[in-house]
Chains A and B, each alone.
Chain A
């Protein structure tokens, strides 16, 4: 298919976030949730 223009190889990888499931992502939100749980009296929360 000669008419297909070349596409940059890495384009696919630059659209979606890498490793977004890492624990460090959204850490602020975790801190907020933890504080809320502690407020509720869940002493077992680490």
Chain B
């Protein structure tokens, strides 16, 4: 539809463009094409008139997890306006790195998330939450060397079921491999050594 000439596109009713973009965005989300999902859902949300509150709410249910993956957190006021209070504790968990909140939010809204088809998407937010928690730890420590044991301790403190340090090493290796953390793991010292200049990617 993007390839259509402007004059032709102008003849398509707005409501159909909104619907089209909603389904396009939803499909892109399931295909893990976050950029397309974001663009389409943004269009759908922006051009869906205010009076169709329930439709805007449905768009947000998909747009919010996509945006969170892209590093944006919804405002509490928006969640309240669209009766999406279910997402509040989840958004706070991802923002602060509070994995306990994320897990609680997912468990208590399991039915809602399953029905909307975004359950797995939210499960995957755990990785971002780990990253936010690790960043917080790095700020607290204030040094480039961070003992993996300390991160493990915080994860356990927040209710994560972690039995062995290797599980934590695995989480951190993933974050390094995905270019979320700039640094390396020193196995002999059980330490993450962060790059001194900007250890976290934008």
Question: A residues near B, CB below 8 A?
Answer: 1-5, 7, 11-12, 14-17, 20, 23, 25-26, 29-30, 33-34, 36-37, 40, 42, 44-46
CB atoms of A17 and B74 under 8 A apart: yes
User: Size class of B's contact patch?
Assistant: 20 to 34
Within 8 A of A (CB), among B102-126: none
User: B67 an interface residue at 8 Å Cβ cutoff?
Assistant: yes
Interface members, chain B 143-173 (any A CB < 8 Å): 143, 147, 150, 153-154, 157
Interface of A is mostly: loop
Using A23-B139, A29-B136 as known contacts, say yes or no to A37 and B6 having CB atoms under 8 A apart. Answer: no
- Residue of B73, B142, B153 touching A36 (CB-CB under 8 A): B153
Question: Is there an interface contact between A42 and B6, defined as CB atoms closer than 8 Å?
Answer: no
Given the contacts A15-B75, A23-B139, A33 and B154 also touching, CB distance less than 8 Å: yes
Smallest Cβ-Cβ distance to B133: which chain A residue: A33
Contact between A5 and B78, CB atoms less than 8 A apart: no
Complex Cα distance, B97 from A36, in Å, reads: 15
A26 touches B95 (CB 8 A): yes
Which positions in B face A, CB cutoff 8 Å? 6, 9-10, 13-14, 42, 46-47, 49, 67, 72-75, 78, 92, 95-98, 136-137, 139-143, 147, 150, 153-154, 157
Given contacts A17-B74, A30-B136, A46-B142, A4 and B98 within 8 Å (CB-CB):
no
Taking a contact as CB atoms under 8 Å apart, the answer to whether A20 and B73 are in contact is yes
> Once the chains bind, are B140 and A45 in contact (CB under 8 Å)?
yes
SS of B interface (majority): helix
B46, A12: Cβ atoms closer than 8 Å: yes
Pairwise interchain contact A16-B73, C-beta atoms closer than 8 A: yes
- Of the residues A2, A5, A11, A42, contact of B49 by C-beta under 8 Å: A5
Asked whether B136 lies within 8 Å of A7 as measured between CB atoms, the reply is no
Whole-angstrom distance between the Cβ of A17 and the nearest chain B Cβ: 5
A15 touches B47 (CB 8 A): no
A14/B78 contact (C-beta < 8 A), A29-B97, A40-B153 known: yes
Q: Known: A4-B14, A4-B47, A46-B140. Contact between A17 and B75, CB under 8 A?
A: yes
Q: Residues of B contacting A17 with CB < 8 Å?
A: 72-75, 95
> Considering the chains assembled together, what is the distance between the CA atoms of A10 and B46 in angstroms?
11
**Bound CA span A46–B69, Å:** 31
